[in-house]
Chain A
Amino acid sequence: MLARIQFAFTVSFHFIFPAISIGLASFLAVLEGLWLKTGKGVYANLFRYWLKIFAVVFGMGVVSGVVLSYQFGTNWSEFSYRAGPIIGPLMGYEVMTAFFLEAGFLGVMLFGINKVGRRLHFFATCMVALGTLISATWILSVNSWMQTPAGYAINDAGQFVPAGSWWPIVFNPSFPYRLVHTVLAAFLTTAFIVGAVGAWHLLKDRTNPGARKMFSMAMWMAALVTPLQIVAGDQHGLNTLEHQPVKVLAMEGDYQPSPEGAPLILFGFPDSEEARVRYEVAIPKLGSLILKHDFDAPLPGLIDFPRDQWPPVPIVFWSFRIMVGLGFAMLAIGLWSLVTRWRGTLYDSRWMHRAAVVMGPSGLVAVIAGWVTTEVGRQPFTVYGLMRTAESHSPLAAPAVAASLIAFVVVYFFVFGAGIYYLLRLMSKPPQRGEALLANQPHRAAGITPASGVDAASSKGG
């Protein structure tokens, strides 16, 4: 149990950073590409503004990620032994194709603009962005395999081994849905952070060109991607119902079977002891429409499945509602931005800007809630239906795990607390025309201004 808490804690912390860096890396590549194409200084300034933020986010993502790659062994050695032959090579490919790509080109991206020229630098930025996407692909393949295992056999030692071709393992049934849903979520998370920062500075100074540009770009993303994401989430839900019905029933709070169409429970308090949802507010038949795209389609209930295969229903039920609720709030912001844009008041609508600031962290919260839904919903299994969480941990003394859990909590709150403080401080400064390339980095620290190449290039267009 302690190992589980520790893993949940370190994973959720880690997960925040890739969620931002996936979106932010692509955003930076777009900004630099637009800069190369149009020569407009506003893009160069925004690129440098967000690059500083990206550097901090990425640094924290790396260190928290290194922790994870070893926690599989320290805390989940039995799982690593048994599932290693399947998920180990996938994670090996992640390291080889993604991590090295990101890390190798990151130095050039952060420090190399005066050394390699603009085109090669743009290439480095693209490679970092590509690395984050490849990384997401492999790790979601691993995670999806744990949710919907395929293409495996079990050998005499109880290990999961490949049954033949690797294709069914990599492209397991839930992988495409999960990948699309997660990558879109990462893009939306970034869009809402960028949008909130832009809105914050617009509230102070409506004329700041950098703030206007970033707000506008973020709102386009919100307006276009949120509807796509809702469709992707719906498709993912259908897939989950097919492969992990228990999880979906827990998400919906459907304890009892509904032979004539399931209601959609909006709110309530799931009670697994009595197998019903207390104080429920429900819309008849809508549940079946969403899950089966048919008002009258029958749905089973949790009681149709053995009690020892139920996940902790209230957690899944609530985290799912948080995610969906935030999704619709994002949709509202996106539509609102379209209305104000059409009226020509995008940069003047104070209420809209305030709402965008409030919604800034919504992507992060939704991502974590969604992740809790899918991971807690998989319980009590680590490999769905095949290997129980209780059989997965290491032969360790409880005090050792407890002590390390405390150490992790203290260190993480301290280190990442400081990191988030620095991030907020960076974001609270409005984007400037002559945005320095990583202020306080070596060049500045020594009191010498950075090379003139970049500034000349940007002021020419700006």
Chain B
Amino acid sequence: MASIDVTVIWACMIGFAVFAYVVMDGFDLGIGILFPGLKAGEERDQAMNSIAPVWDGNETWLVFGGGGLMAVFPLAYAIILPATYPLIIAMLLGLVFRGVAFEFRWRDPGHRKFWDIAFTLGSVIAALSQGITLGALLQGIRVEDDAYAGGWLDWLSPFSLLTGVSVLLGYGLLGATWLIWKTEGTAQAHARRMAFRLGIATFAALAAVSLATPFLHIDYWRRWFELPQVLLTAQVPVLTVICAGIFFQSLAKGHERMPFLMALILFLLGFVGLGISMFPYAVPQAVTIWDAAAPRASQIFLLAGAVVIVPMILAYTGWAYRVFRGKAGIEGYH
């Protein structure tokens, strides 16, 4: 056991939870972002039907990421959250609004317009705050004596706004490609057009973030541009370009699942890129995962359960998705 570094395993686990959250809640937040572009009535009902049974499980990964961070990297949790305080609060309030909109919009047709707006606004705010939080993390957080030492608007910068918009576009892309898969008729045609535009915008945003990141810190620069590691890291942008090619081709050919799959792979590549930039820091340039780690006993205690339970969660989550496989339709599930 001693030769295995539990902390690294946990860093991967938290990374996995965050990734699972980003792509799963990403596509249902994306639906919210795209909602104003869909026609009221049939198109919106289809879109809502396609995520109603699963959004709740998707969002649970956010709780797992937060809870896991507190359990195994309490120092990182205690630094990052106060540093991005207004963002986190905005995200939570956004999630409150959009979460209740799922229930309320069906129950109150008189105010459906209002709850549709709440659904969109909540989703946009949540996506933006998550993106800006990512930017704030990458650009670094001021830490003194193991505690956050900055003001309450330190997170605001051109770079963090750029990452905010990028995540917003990316979630929109996930949402649009999900709709291509799960809807039919005009909603699907509509989603195709949106996916095309969002695809271009997302790749542009990804390029911009990738180019800006190495200028934030010399350490990022070294990782991405110095030999020999550039031979490894360069694979990420190369694969991204290939992914983009397949994405647009499948969209043009009218494939239904491939665009969503490519959007997922795009997120995965972006995620690997972030991992390359950040590892082994939990708070970039300030706190490594080993500094932030909880005592070994805490990490092992939770890991023992996670090894057994997480595969079970994935299994029944997969089953739930299977139950609702196929087109969402306007008439609900039969």
Of all chain A residues, the one with the shortest Cβ separation from B310 is A96
Chain B nearest CB: distance from A28 CB in Å?
16
Cβ of A387 < 8 Å from any Cβ of B?
A: no
Within 8 A of A (CB), among B219-267: none
Write the nearest CB–CB distance from B118 to chain A, whole angstroms.
8
CB within 8 Å of A: which B29-45 residues: 42, 45
A404 to chain B: which residues have CB within 8 Å? 85-86, 89
Is A298 positioned at the interface, with any CB of B under 8 Å from its CB? no
- How far does the Cβ of B147 sit from chain A's closest Cβ, in whole Å? 6
Is residue A400 within 8 Å, beta carbon to beta carbon, of the partner chain?
A: yes
A107 within 8 A of B: yes
B316 touches A104 (CB 8 A): yes
Cα distance A103–B296 when bound, in Å? 30
Contact among B146, B305, B316, B334 for A93, CB-based, below 8 A: B305
Give the residue of B70, B95, B152, B330 whose beta carbon is less than 8 angstroms from that of A66. B95
| A79 to chain B: closest residue by CB | B78
Is the pair A418, B78 in contact by a Cβ cutoff of 8 Å?
no
Q: Cβ of A89 < 8 Å from any Cβ of B?
A: yes
- Number of B residues near A (Cβ < 8 Å) is 74
Contacts of A394 in B (CB 8 A): 78, 81-82, 85, 148
Q: Mark A104-133, 1 if CB is under 8 A from B, else 0.
A: 111110111011100000000000000000
A295 interface contact, C-beta 8 A: no
Interface size, A (range): 35 or more
In the complex the two chains form, is B298's CB within 8 Å of A86's CB? yes
Q: Does A451 contact B (CB under 8 A)?
A: yes
Most buried by B among A73, A415, A426, A448: A73
| Nearest chain B CB to A416 CB, angstrom units | 8
Please determine whether B52 and A419 come into contact, CB atoms closer than 8 angstroms.
no
B48 & A104 in contact (Cβ 8 Å cutoff): no
B100 touches A (CB below 8 Å)? yes
**A459 on the interface (CB 8 Å rule)?**
no
* Min CB–CB distance A310 → chain B (angstroms): 29
Residue in B closest to A100 when the chains form the complex, CB atoms: B313
Asked if B8 CB lies within 8 Å of chain A CBs, one says no
CA distance A23 to B285 in the complex (A): 48
> Closest residue to A127 on the B side, CB-wise?
B316
Mask, B81-94, CB within 8 Å of A = 1, is: 11001101100110
B80 & A73 in contact (Cβ 8 Å cutoff): yes
Does A207 sit within 8 A of B, measured CB to CB?
A: no
Contacts of B146 in A (CB 8 A): 81, 157
Nearest CB of chain A from residue B106's CB, rounded to whole Å: 4
Tell whether A397 pairs with B316 under 8 Å between CB atoms, given A442-B330, A446-B42. Answer: no
Contact check: which of B85, B92, B294, B316 meets A84 at CB < 8 Å?
B294
Cβ-defined contact, B96 with A418, below 8 A: no
Interface residues of A in 407-462 (CB under 8 A from B): 407-408, 411-412, 415, 418-419, 422, 425-426, 438, 440-443, 445-446, 448, 450-451
Residues of B within 8 A of A107 (CB): 52-54, 56-57, 320, 323-324
Interface pairs (5), CB distance under 8 Å: A59-B56, A77-B81, A86-B298, A89-B302, A446-B330
What are the 7 closest A-B residue pairs judged by CB atoms, nearest first? Answer: A88-B71, A84-B74, A107-B53, A73-B81, A443-B332, A81-B78, A63-B99
Known: A80-B70, A157-B146. 11 other contacts (CB 8 A): A56-B107, A67-B96, A74-B82, A78-B78, A84-B298, A105-B316, A115-B333, A161-B298, A407-B93, A442-B45, A448-B330
